[in-house]
């Protein structure tokens, strides 16, 4: 299609006003829309750290424009972790494939290790099942709980990233502290989301989170074992 035909097609549209040219100003505006404290990534992180429960509820029922979309947020945070882990080479304790040798299980666990964004989304499904079970009296559906977990797990990955950076700088074992802080943040956030004044909600939140992770990795091992068995039969 040549330029004359393109121009004629454009003129047929209801709103023929052309878009602004993509230039340096446009690129800067796009970047600033993501990394500012009024909306976007930094705003999302700040709000989730200060008031996770009310922030997620506000996203679910009132305003979905100011903070980053949940799955995008989780993937971005996971990519940030992966980037710093590859650059600084701090010990990766998030998931280990040791002990399974050269097997399908090892390949699956290595995939999880290299694709935290997608793996966390899959893991959130199993955690959401346990949360739905433990908090069944609350009127939140499965998909709303998934959104909660995307935000919480994203912050967890950022906590783990900061711990890895500090460990690389100080040479101290800080990753374990980061893991503990991540679990504390998770329990606190889930409790605040459902009903912040009930202390047992915080315990139920952390148990649901741990059981969901265990379920995810257990099924990953079962899947790998099944693949190994089928390959031997063939």
pLDDT tens digits for range 40-60: 788 899 999 999 999 999 999
Domain around 122: 52-60+69-233
Q: Is pLDDT above 90 for 234?
A: no
Whether residue 5 lies inside any domain: the answer is no
Whether residue 39 lies inside any domain: the answer is no
Average pLDDT, the chain: 82
Whether residue 77 lies inside any domain: the answer is yes
Whether residue 216 lies inside any domain: the answer is yes
Q: Is pLDDT above 60 for 111?
A: yes
Size of the chain, expressed as the number of residues it contains: 234
Whether residue 168 lies inside any domain: the answer is yes
> What is the per-residue pLDDT for 214?
93
Whether residue 8 lies inside any domain: the answer is no
pTM: 0.76
Q: Is pLDDT above 80 for 149?
A: yes
Whether residue 142 lies inside any domain: the answer is yes
**Number of domains, the chain:** 1
- Cα–Cα distances (Å) from 19 to 13, 15, 23, in that order, read 13, 11, 12
Whether residue 143 lies inside any domain: the answer is yes
Average confidence (pLDDT) over 190-199:
86
Can you name the residues that pair with 40 across neighbouring β-strands? 35
**Distance of alpha carbon 168 from alpha carbon 89, whole angstroms:** 8
> What is the per-residue pLDDT for 225?
87
In sequence order, which ranges of the chain are alpha helices (DSSP H)? 3-11, 24-34, 41-50, 52-61, 70-88, 104-114, 116-134, 142-170, 175-195, 199-233
> What is the per-residue pLDDT for 19?
67
């Amino acid at each position: 299609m040549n330029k004359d035909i393109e121009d004629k097609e454009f003129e047929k549209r209801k709103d023929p006003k052309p878009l602004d040219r993509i230039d340096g100003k446009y690129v800067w505006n796009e970047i600033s829309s993501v990394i500012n404290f009024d909306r976007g990534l930094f705003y999302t992180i700040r709000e989730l750290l200060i008031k996770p429960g009310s922030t997620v509820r506000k996203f679910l029922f009132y305003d979905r424009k100011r903070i980053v979309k949940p799955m995008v947020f989780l993937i971005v945070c996971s990519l940030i972790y992966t980037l710093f882990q590859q650059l600084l080479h701090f010990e990766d304790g998030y998931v280990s494939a040791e002990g399974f040798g050269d097997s399908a299980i090892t390949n699956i666990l290595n995939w999880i290790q290299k694709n935290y964004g997608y793996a966390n989304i899959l893991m959130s499904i199993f955690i959401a099942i346990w949360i739905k079970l433990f908090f069944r009296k609350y009127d939140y559906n499965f998909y709303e709980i998934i959104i909660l977990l995307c935000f919480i797990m994203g912050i967890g990955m950022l906590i783990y990233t900061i711990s890895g950076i500090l460990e690389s700088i100080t040479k101290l074992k800080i990753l374990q502290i980061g893991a503990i802080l991540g679990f504390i943040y998770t329990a606190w956030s889930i409790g605040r989301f459902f009903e912040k004044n009930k202390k047992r909600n915080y315990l139920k939140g952390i148990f649901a989170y741990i059981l969901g992770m265990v379920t995810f990795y257990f099924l990953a091992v079962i899947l790998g074992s099944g693949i190994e068995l089928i390959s031997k039969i063939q």
